[in-house]
């Protein structure tokens, strides 16, 4: 049987031939990819010549092309369009991948060559990106255990293999619990829900085999509008509690034991690596450098956020009393009464907003922002074989007509896709290799698909990540696009959110779905006036999750670990008010337990928000489409990837270090005594 992964792809844009790839092709391709890279490494270590940057560092950088090829397809599909066969293979491959990585970092002959070059780095006359590549490669080997003794290496290898399995299981458990839950209602139970929400629920019910009913799930695109608008408090409580019990039900998908093992094994690995905690280990390789710096930033924002959220809670309790009710505000009430207060205070609700934000127009609005800033264009391609019917493909070209890459948009929720939103790549950029980038979201599929403001921001956010991947101009793949420090990666995504609600931009894409009317200045003014509304809540729930992440990774002890105790102690320590819960509770906190990247790193969004808020000030000062400012951002941030120190790149763009003031202003936390 022929295997497409063993061929050169003669396809438009070099896109994977999805119509020819079967699940049975993946495992043999992975196995051969592992084998071929080990052969390539053996060639490096067997070279009798003294190590050079070319015969060691660049040779290692160029190795593993087959492995990258199959991984780029498989792991994307495992996230966005999985099935039982792919889930089973994901468990197998995760362990094999972990062992392969351990073999790489445990290769003494290879590390000896890299270490020799690293010690002599100041004498090698390397270009800045080459010095960065050598430095990062050396540090990655050290962090992978290369400098440990044989016993410790074996233990780290064992721990990594166990973690790979557990992290994969954690993610699969969440998908199972998310898919298993459904609330099926009839029309009489939909009181308060807008027509667009009802239409999406009807579509979901049809897909789940409940024709004629209305299905609500615990995906964000379903539960959020339900909590905002349903007039049935008991149903709102039912939905909220189902969401907060994800991964914490009495079934085989319960994540309590899984996450406890993950935290314990990470701590064991950190100790072996010479660090006090997993947080110390992870932050040693990030801009923040150590947990103390993270806590300092979080604490700086926590105090004004608490003052604001307490006022917001009081205002919502007043709303309850004014409605003739006498119950105490509970966490599941927050969205409903916030929506009531928003309508009262600003004469504004999601029902007013969503008709102006049809998905395709929002997408085109993001494309137009990129064109005005950077001169790039997106052209729809209709004849490509893609991995799912919902996916759209766009050719991306520069102002001079040269090809930049291929952009895939996969926006709709489905049972085969994990929750959340993300950017990934089927192929990364390097030298003359053009990237294939994908944006995945989980918007409720309906016709028309109308977005709320949070979903509009999500689309622009992921598009910012997409631009980071598409516009990369580096020579080494490991430095391309989003291959940067974890607490720097959110800068391009979060700064792009600012353009979404700029009046000039809104007038270009926000049109009423029925009348075609351009969004009015009056509605724009209301939207902008409401931007800091409920920011106490939004900041608090995010920061609470960041503190919870750190609590799990600053030494919780060995399994078995009591999840409730860890959560309660973490929230008691910061004094979280009872009416607000962390954005994610432990059993469905995918960011930190489905992989290492964001573990002890959920703070990265607020860390990067300091950068993006400060950075957007440059655009506001000079004009939001100022060519010189856009050029500086493109050349110093988007094109450079991880080829230099991130703070050096930011300074090159901004001309100075970032300041926190813009973030506090944007979130309405400067004068925390103001009414919410």
| Centroid of chain to Cα 426 | 16
Rounded Cα distance between 17 and 5, Å, is 9
User: What pLDDT, on the 0 to 100 scale, is given for residue 671?
Assistant: 53
What's the CA angle centered on 109, arms 107 and 114, to 5 degrees?
A: 95
Q: What are phi and psi of 549, to 5 degrees?
A: -55, -50
- CB-based contact 298:576 (threshold 8 Å): no
Q: Which residues are catalytic?
A: 462
CATH fold for domain 4-105+107-143: Glutathione S-transferase Yfyf (Class Pi); Chain A, domain 2 (1.20.1050)
Domain with CATH 1.20.1050.40 in the chain: 4-105+107-143
Domain with CATH 1.10.1370.40 in the chain: 355-529+604-666
Give the SS3 label for residue 216.
Answer: strand
pLDDT, tens digit (0-9, with 9 covering 90-100), for 401-428: 999 999 999 999 999 999 999 999 999 9
What's the CA angle centered on 457, arms 456 and 462, to 5 degrees?
A: 105
Helix spans in 347-489 (H): 350-353, 359-374, 453-470
3-state SS string over 52-120? Answer: CHHHHHHHHHHCCHHHHHHHHHHHHHHHHCCCHHHHHHHHHHHHHHHHHHHHHHCCHHHHHHHHHHHHC
User: What pLDDT, on the 0 to 100 scale, is given for residue 676?
Assistant: 27
Q: Which letter does DSSP use for residue 634 in this model?
A: I
Rounded Cα distance between 46 and 114, Å, is 14
Which residues, other chains included, contact 80 with Cβ-Cβ below 8 Å and sequence gap of 6+?
Answer: 387, 388, 410, 416, 417, 418, 438, 440
- How many CB atoms neighbour CB 675 within 10 A? 10
- Decide: residue 75, CB within 10 A, 0-12 exposed, 13-18 middle, 19+ buried: middle
Task: Give pLDDT < 50 ranges for the chain.
Answer: 672-676
Cα dihedral 634, 635, 640, 643 in deg (nearest 10): -150
What's the N-to-C CA distance of the chain in angstroms? Answer: 64
Q: Is the bond preceding 560 in cis, omega lying within 30 degrees of 0?
A: yes
User: What pLDDT, on the 0 to 100 scale, is given for residue 674?
Assistant: 32
Decide if domain 355-529+604-666 falls under CATH 3.40.366.10. no
User: What pLDDT, on the 0 to 100 scale, is given for residue 670?
Assistant: 79
3-state SS string over 365-404? Answer: HHHHHHHHHHCCEEEEECCCCCCCCCCEEEEEECCCCCEE
What's the CA angle centered on 273, arms 272 and 279, to 5 degrees?
A: 105
């Amino acid at each position: 049987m022929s295997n497409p992964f063993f061929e050169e792809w003669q396809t438009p844009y070099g896109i994977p031939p999805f119509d020819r790839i079967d699940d049975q092709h993946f495992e043999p391709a992975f196995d051969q990819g592992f084998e071929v890279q080990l052969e390539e490494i053996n060639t490096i270590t067997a070279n009798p010549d003294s190590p050079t940057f070319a015969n060691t560092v660049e040779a290692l950088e160029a190795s593993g092309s087959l492995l990258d090829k199959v991984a780029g397809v498989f792991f994307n599909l495992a996230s966005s369009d999985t099935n039982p066969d792919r889930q089973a293979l994901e468990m197998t491959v995760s362990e094999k991948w972990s062992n392969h990585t351990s073999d790489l970092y445990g290769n003494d002959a290879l590390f000896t060559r890299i270490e020799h070059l690293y010690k002599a780095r100041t004498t090698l006359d390397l270009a800045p990106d080459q010095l960065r590549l050598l430095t990062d490669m050396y540090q990655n080997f050290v962090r992978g255990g290369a400098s440990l003794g044989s016993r410790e290496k074996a233990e780290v290898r064992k721990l990594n293999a166990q973690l790979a399995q557990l992290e994969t299981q954690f993610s699969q458990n969440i998908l199972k619990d998310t898919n298993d839950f459904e609330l099926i209602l009839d029309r009489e139970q939909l009181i308060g829900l807008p027509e667009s929400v009802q239409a999406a629920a009807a579509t979901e019910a049809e897909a789940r085999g409940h024709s004629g009913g209305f299905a609500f799930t615990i995906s964000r695109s379903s539960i959020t509008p339900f909590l905002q608008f349903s007039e049935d408090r008991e149903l709102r409580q039912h939905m909220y509690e189902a969401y907060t019990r994800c991964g914490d039900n009495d079934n085989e998908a319960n994540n309590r034991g899984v996450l406890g093992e993950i935290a314990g094994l990470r701590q064991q690995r950190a100790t072996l690596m010479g660090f006090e905690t997993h947080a110390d280990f992870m932050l040693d390789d990030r801009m923040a450098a150590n947990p103390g710096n993270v806590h300092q930033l979080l604490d700086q924002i926590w105090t004004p956020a608490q003052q604001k959220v307490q006022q917001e809670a009081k205002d919502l309790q007043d709303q309850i009393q004014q409605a003739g009710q006498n119950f105490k505000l509970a966490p599941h009430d927050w969205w409903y009464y916030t929506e009531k207060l928003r309508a009262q205070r600003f004469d504004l609700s999601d029902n007013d907003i969503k008709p102006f934000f049809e998905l395709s127009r929002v997408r085109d609005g993001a494309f137009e922002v990129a064109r005005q800033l950077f001169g790039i264009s997106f052209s729809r391609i209709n004849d490509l074989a893609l991995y799912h019917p919902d996916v759209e493909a766009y050719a991306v070209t520069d102002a001079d007509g040269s090809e930049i890459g291929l952009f895939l948009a996969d926006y709709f929720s489905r049972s085969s896709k994990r929750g959340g939103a993300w950017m990934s790549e089927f192929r990364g950029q390097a030298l003359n290799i053009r990237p294939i980038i994908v944006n995945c979201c989980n918007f409720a599929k309906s016709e028309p698909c109308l977005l709320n403001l949070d979903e509009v921001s999500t689309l622009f956010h992921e598009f910012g990540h997409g631009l980071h991947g598409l516009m990369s101009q580096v020579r080494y793949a490991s430095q391309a696009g989003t291959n940067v420090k974890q607490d720097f990666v959110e800068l391009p995504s979060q700064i792009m959110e600012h353009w979404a609600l700029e009046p000039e931009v809104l007038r270009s894409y926000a049109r009423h779905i029925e009348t075609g009317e351009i969004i009015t200045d009056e509605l724009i003014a209301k939207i902008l006036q409401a931007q800091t509304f409920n920011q106490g809540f939004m900041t608090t729930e995010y920061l609470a999750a960041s503190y919870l992440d750190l609590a799990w990774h600053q030494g919780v002890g060995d399994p078995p670990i009591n999840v409730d105790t860890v959560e309660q102690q973490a929230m008691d320590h910061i004094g979280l008010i009872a009416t607000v819960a962390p954005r994610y509770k432990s059993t469905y906190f995918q960011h930190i337990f489905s992989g290492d990247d964001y573990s002890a790193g959920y703070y990265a969004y607020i860390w990067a928000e300091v950068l993006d808020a400060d950075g957007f000030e440059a655009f506001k000062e000079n004009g939001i489409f100022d060519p010189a400012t856009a050029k500086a951002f493109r050349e110093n941030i988007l094109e450079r990837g991880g080829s230099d120190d991130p703070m050096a790149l930011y300074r090159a763009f901004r001309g100075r270090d970032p300041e926190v003031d813009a973030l506090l202003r944007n979130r309405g936390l400067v004068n925390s005594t103001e009414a919410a």
